[in-house]
Chain A
Amino acid sequence: MLKLFYFFRGYLWIRVSGASAERFINLCGIRHMMLWDIKKEEESYVMCISLKSFFEMKDIVRKTSTKVVILKRIGLPFLLPGVKKRWFFPAFFLLICTVFLLSQLLLWNIHILGNQSISEDSILTFLEEHEVRKGIRLKEVDTELLEKEMRKTFPTITWVSVYLEGNSLTLSIKENDKPIPEETAEQEKLHKEGFLEEPEGMDICANKAGRIVSIVTRTGTPAVQIGDDVQVGDVLIRGRVEIFDNEGNVREQVNVHADGDVMLESSIETGFKTPLMKIVDTETGNYKKYTFSRWGDNYRVWYLFAIPYEEYRAVPHTYAHMGDKLGFTLEFGEMEIREVIKVRREKTQEEYTAELSEMMKEYVATLEEKAIQIKGKNVRIKKNADTVTLTGVLKVQGPFIERKETKVMEEPLDVVDE
């Protein structure tokens, strides 16, 4: 520790020789000069002395008639002249220090705690609207205002605390976890025989021809059974409920919004097309190397003369990478600029098969998003003069339904007068 301290201030290894070398040590001690690692070597003493003390000991040397020889200079003051030649190192060190200090003034992280029903994305969008995002200055974050605005924007929030902790902004949220309030008396009145009466009924109809695989009715009257074949527009669950009296006659009809799960088995014809030829970038073998830096997503290639290729491919080789944990990316390295030319060629079987398969996969994924299951598929790939086509039939099962207003029945029902 002592050596480290003196390293920064600079110290010397000296050899003291002469008849009164011990007196020299004593006088140094009396004048509060720091000596350490004192060793006797033959007729002389070797010791360490601080740089400051060294300049103050001239009269002691004269008084004791000793001879002082500097053996070694150690410490930062002696390194600085050498550093002048390597200015890049301290400049880079200063740059890093500056970047680090500046980074301490910015917001690098946002933590959201306690949210259940409110998604993190919607909170981040809210923050974005209030110009709070990663990278802004900490001074610009008004936590009290954010708290007020959050309570206004999200009524389900009962308590919110926004606070800054280092370079992070933490939003601690408490949402309303009480049960949903019961229906009001007015809403209750709308109930009729257990149904929520609507002014207009809504049917669930088929929007694709197929066969009924399953039907579960929650509200309304089922109009089809499992195994029935239906056409487009056929009513599956009627948005009207008939209420019978004790004698089994229809007393009245209630318009409802039909609700239920209906699964239909159907088939979808599908087709995709891709061009047979493609243009590919081919490397010529010519390349040049440049130094590059990267800040976030911005690459900067340093060159004196313009890149001599019309079209090229850049391949970075990173040598120094930093700042990940602080929320930014700073990279330095060498960028290999490879010349490329455009070549038109026919796709191989693997290429167009993979391309069409990818299209098919994407299509299947969109179907699955709509809760449509693929039960089987029969696809064929055909190579034409200019294109390659994929055609096929998918056997699917899913809720091919749509809601339509209930049509008024042509034949009036017998309503029993009470």
Chain B
Amino acid sequence: MRKKSIIAPLAESLKLPKDITNGDSIISLTGNEEAWIENYKGIIEYTPERIFLQLKNGRVAFCGRELHIVFYTVEEMRITGIIEEMQFLC
């Protein structure tokens, strides 16, 4: 379970974006063929069938076929391929 911070209620009341206050990741999916991931820590596992990423508050796994990292920097990455499943592991 994620630890409850004292900043969280404050940020909620001020309506600040959670990716800034909590360090939450932003995952944008375009259909099931493209995913943009921001605010992540690193790659744990990468195969054409599974990409397993370490987030700041947990882990996420993209499962599918022909998965491919098109673009990779410290802040964001882009995954293309056929995404069949996305799984959060806290």
Question: Which residues of A line the B interface, CB within 8 A?
Answer: 2, 22-23, 25-26, 28-32, 34-40, 45, 47
Q: Is the CB of A40 within 8 A of B72?
A: no
Interfacial residues of chain B within 62-79, with CB under 8 A of chain A in the complex:
68-74
**Chain A: minimal CB distance from B88 (Å):** 19
A39-B68 contact, Cβ under 8 Å, with A22-B43, A29-B42: yes
Q: Is the CB of B45 within 8 A of A29?
A: no
Q: List 10 A-B pairs, minimum CB-CB distance, nearest first.
A: A26-B42, A38-B69, A29-B74, A35-B72, A22-B43, A36-B71, A40-B47, A25-B43, A30-B74, A40-B48
Q: Is the CB of B74 within 8 A of A22?
A: no
Interfacial residues of chain B within 43-90, with CB under 8 A of chain A in the complex:
43-48, 68-74
Question: Which residues of B line the A interface, CB within 8 A?
Answer: 41-48, 68-74
Q: Is the CB of B44 within 8 A of A36?
A: no
* Beyond A22-B43, A25-B42, A36-B72, 14 additional pairs, beta carbon < 8 A: A22-B45, A29-B72, A30-B42, A31-B74, A32-B73, A34-B72, A35-B69, A35-B72, A36-B71, A37-B68, A37-B70, A38-B69, A40-B47, A40-B48
In the bound assembly, the distance between CA atoms of A377 and B74 in angstroms comes to 97
**Chain A: minimal CB distance from B70 (Å):** 6
Task: Determine the main DSSP class of B at the interface with A.
Answer: strand
A29-B73 contact, Cβ under 8 Å, with A22-B42, A22-B43, A22-B44: yes
Q: Is the CB of A25 within 8 A of B74?
A: no
Looking across the interface, which residue of chain B has its beta carbon closest to that of A45? B46
Find B43's partner among A26, A31, A39 (CB 8 Å cutoff).
A26
**Chain B: minimal CB distance from A319 (Å):** 44
Instruction: Please indicate the chain B residues that have their CB under 8 angstroms from the CB of A45 in the complex.
Output: 46
**Chain A: minimal CB distance from B79 (Å):** 10
**Chain A: minimal CB distance from B7 (Å):** 25
Instruction: Please indicate the chain A residues that have their CB under 8 angstroms from the CB of B45 in the complex.
Output: 22
Instruction: Please indicate the chain A residues that have their CB under 8 angstroms from the CB of B70 in the complex.
Output: 36-38
Instruction: Please indicate the chain B residues that have their CB under 8 angstroms from the CB of A29 in the complex.
Output: 42, 72-74
Instruction: Please indicate the chain B residues that have their CB under 8 angstroms from the CB of A26 in the complex.
Output: 41-43
**Chain B: minimal CB distance from A34 (Å):** 6
In the bound assembly, the distance between CA atoms of A37 and B73 in angstroms comes to 12
Residue of B41, B70, B72 most packed against chain A (CB within 10 A):
B72
In the bound assembly, the distance between CA atoms of A28 and B69 in angstroms comes to 14
Q: Is the CB of A22 within 8 A of B46?
A: yes
Q: Is the CB of A32 within 8 A of B46?
A: no
In the bound assembly, the distance between CA atoms of A34 and B71 in angstroms comes to 8
In the bound assembly, the distance between CA atoms of A45 and B41 in angstroms comes to 19
Find A38's partner among B42, B44, B46, B74 (CB 8 Å cutoff).
B46
Instruction: Please indicate the chain B residues that have their CB under 8 angstroms from the CB of A38 in the complex.
Output: 46, 68-70, 72
Instruction: Please indicate the chain B residues that have their CB under 8 angstroms from the CB of A2 in the complex.
Output: 71
Q: Is the CB of B74 within 8 A of A32?
A: yes
Instruction: Please indicate the chain B residues that have their CB under 8 angstroms from the CB of A40 in the complex.
Output: 46-48
Instruction: Please indicate the chain A residues that have their CB under 8 angstroms from the CB of B72 in the complex.
Output: 25, 28-29, 34-36, 38, 47
Looking across the interface, which residue of chain A has its beta carbon closest to that of B79? A38
**Chain A: minimal CB distance from B56 (Å):** 14
In the bound assembly, the distance between CA atoms of A275 and B70 in angstroms comes to 85
Q: Is the CB of B73 within 8 A of A34?
A: yes
Looking across the interface, which residue of chain A has its beta carbon closest to that of B41? A26
Instruction: Please indicate the chain A residues that have their CB under 8 angstroms from the CB of B48 in the complex.
Output: 39-40
Instruction: Please indicate the chain A residues that have their CB under 8 angstroms from the CB of B68 in the complex.
Output: 37-39
Looking across the interface, which residue of chain A has its beta carbon closest to that of B52? A22
In the bound assembly, the distance between CA atoms of A36 and B45 in angstroms comes to 17
Instruction: Please indicate the chain A residues that have their CB under 8 angstroms from the CB of B71 in the complex.
Output: 2, 36
Residue of A26, A31, A47 most packed against chain B (CB within 10 A):
A26
Instruction: Please indicate the chain A residues that have their CB under 8 angstroms from the CB of B74 in the complex.
Output: 29-32
12 cross-chain CB contacts under 8 A: A22-B45, A25-B46, A25-B72, A29-B73, A35-B73, A38-B46, A39-B48, A39-B68, A40-B46, A40-B48, A45-B46, A47-B72
